[in-house]
Structure 1
Amino acid sequence: MLKRILLIVCMLTASASFAQVDVNKGDQAALSSIKGIGASTAKRIADERTKGGNFKDWGDFESRVQGIGEKKAVKLSEAGLQVNGKAKGEAAAAPPAKASSKPAAKPK
């Protein structure tokens, strides 16, 4: 019985550490659950979101929240923070579609 309880506690702890939190949807408690975000940073994020509206992307988030730079944003993303459902670098990872430089073939 004790082993089951310990197993359940370990599983809950592991799942909580990999939780994804969107910066535009999470409250202060949810934001604080991300490793690297304390109570004061969570408050700054929530206050800035209230003042300036939702964050458009990671660059917007970094520029508007004091104390969040490129390195910190990468660490927060790795810990599970998202902006509009995207991890840091996720939007830039997909290359933009290129227009073909070849003319379209004429149908016969």
Structure 2
Amino acid sequence: MKHLLSCLLFTMALITAPVAWSADENTSQATEQVERLSVNINTASEQQLSEQLSGIGPAKAKAIIEYRQANGEFSSPDALMEVKGIGTATLDKNRDRIKV
């Protein structure tokens, strides 16, 4: 009886192990995707800003960089609204992608 129970527990461990490993891989891939989609508004280039932020084209990306050069680094994502042409709607669409 003990042998049967041991075999059963061992079999269950083998069956569930790949599921646990798969979940770890999915979490890792999701984290990598978020990192790729995130953009640091204090260091990003014009191209990075326009490609990775929704509603930010080359002109607004250039304005962000010019504002950053004139006024220093952004202290928070909300400070991005100080840039002419960037309002609440644009900030809200991108809030989860913006890093400072």
Normalised by the shorter chain, which TM-score bucket? 0.5 to 0.7
Tell me the C-alpha RMSD between the 2 structures.
1.9
Higher helix share: 2
Q: Can you list the C-alpha shifts for 1:9-48, whole angstroms capped at 9, x where unaligned?
A: xxxxxx5xx6111111101011011221100000000000
Aligned-residue sequence identity (percent) comes to 28
Structure 2 stretches lacking a partner, 5+ long: 1-32
| Structure 1 partner of 2:42 | 24
* Structure 2: distance between partners of 1:70 and 1:23: 16
TM-score between the two structures when normalised by the length of structure 2: 0.58
Q: How many residues align?
A: 66
Alignment check: 8 A CA contact 1:31 1:42 kept: yes
SS where residue 33 of structure 1 aligns?
A: helix
Q: Can you list the C-alpha shifts for 1:43-91, whole angstroms capped at 9, x where unaligned?
A: 00000000000011133221x201111121001224x2x141xxxxxxx
Structure showing greater Rg: 2
Moved over 3 A (4+): none
